[in-house]
Amino acid sequence: MGSPEILGSIGPDGNAAGAFQFQPPEYRPRWWLHTLLFVLTLCTSTVMGGIYFGWTPVELAALGWPRWMFHPVFITEGLKFSVPMLTILFAHEMGHYIAARRHGLLTTPPFFLPMPVPLWYSPGTLGAVMRIKQPITTRAQLLDIGAWGPIAGFIVTIPMLLVGLALSQVREFPNEAPLVYFSEPILFKVLARGLFFPGLTGNEDIMLHPVAWAAWWGLLVTALNLLPFFQLDGGHIAYALFGDGHRRWARRLLAAFVVLTIFWPGWALWAAILVLVGPEHPRILYEHEPLDRARRLIGFTAIAIFVLCFSYAPIQFW
């Protein structure tokens, strides 16, 4: 057990009050658990990447399950998706980790989360998380930790998106053909239709290379993490930038967010979770300390990244 120290906390009247809190003991990562979760996540995302490969070609499907899942072609194509996907997630978590460590906060390595049920059209992973074992007490800490994760993931996603689009192809589809349509955030649309595939006709669309598909998921993950609620990265950033202003507007923003369920039912799950936990960010001890200009610039950069990555209806079935 660690030694106790007196730390400030927020009292019912909104003022700082003394409180006893134990310092966390020395942390020793359970590397076996981190490794096991990473390997499982690599497997589940590789399977989904292999399925995405032509939605399992006939010659592989004819082998029957599970033989086609262990076919070298299936595994190779799956790795073309899973390796860049996990690289983006790793960069995101390392952004958080390095920022936390720079502030001297005790932090776990990332826990990768395999998807326990292979949902169709999914990336095969629930993402990755890390735990900070000491309280965040200043707006500067909150801004750095919240912003550098999505910024790092975004930086890694850009070259993967460029390479993936360069390897993608245009195919023609009959107008009556059923399609699963992955929406195009602003950044994706600018690069795909403005740089690589200008002048597509009405019945043509882009068949994404697995690397481009991983980058697409990277953009979506970045946007979801930057939603300005609760203890999501975006909630950290909004609270660090605007303080009580964010807390006053959080429920109004949530009401506007609920409207998005009209366009994509998937937002309903997010809205339900945010209603249960509350959209406001928890208070921190030194919430009235101002941010310096450089950190405010970092925060607004993260907001710009959110705009570039966000799509109001990520996946549509036609």
pLDDT digits (tens, 9 = 90+) for 3-18: 333 333 344 444 444 4
Q: What is the mean pLDDT of residues 206-233?
A: 93
Partners of 6 in the beta sheet? 20
Average confidence (pLDDT) over 268-296: 90
Q: pTM here? A: 0.87
d(Cα 141, Cα 129) in Å, to the nearest integer?
Answer: 18
Instruction: Determine the structural domain holding residue 310 and report its residue range.
Output: 4-23+30-317
Report phi then psi at 27, rounded to 5.
Answer: -100, 130
**Among 44-58, 205-219, 256-270, 284-298, whose mean pLDDT is lowest?**
44-58
Chain centroid to Cα 229, Å, comes to: 14
- For residues 225-247, average pLDDT: 92
The pLDDT tens digits for 130-154 are 999 999 999 999 999 999 999 999 9
Q: Sign of torsion, CA 106 107 108 109?
A: negative
- Helix, strand, coil shares of the chain, percent, nearest 5, are 55, 15, 30
Strand partners, 286: 138
Residue 6 is predicted with a pLDDT of 36
User: Average of pLDDT values for 290-312?
Assistant: 96
Q: Based on the structure, what is the number of domains in the chain? A: 1
CA distances from 259 to 18, 118, 231, 235, 271 (A): 42, 29, 21, 19, 10
The pLDDT of 15-44, averaged and rounded, is: 76
Share of the chain above pLDDT 70, in %: 85
- Residue 207: strand pairing partners: 169
Closest CA to 114 of 226, 215, 34, 53: 34
Report the alpha-carbon distance of residue 292 to residue 44 in Å, rounded.
Answer: 43
Residues 184, 189, 192: CA angle, nearest 5 degrees: 115
- Considering the chain, what percentage of its residues have pLDDT values greater than 90? 52
Bigger pLDDT: 8 or 25? 25
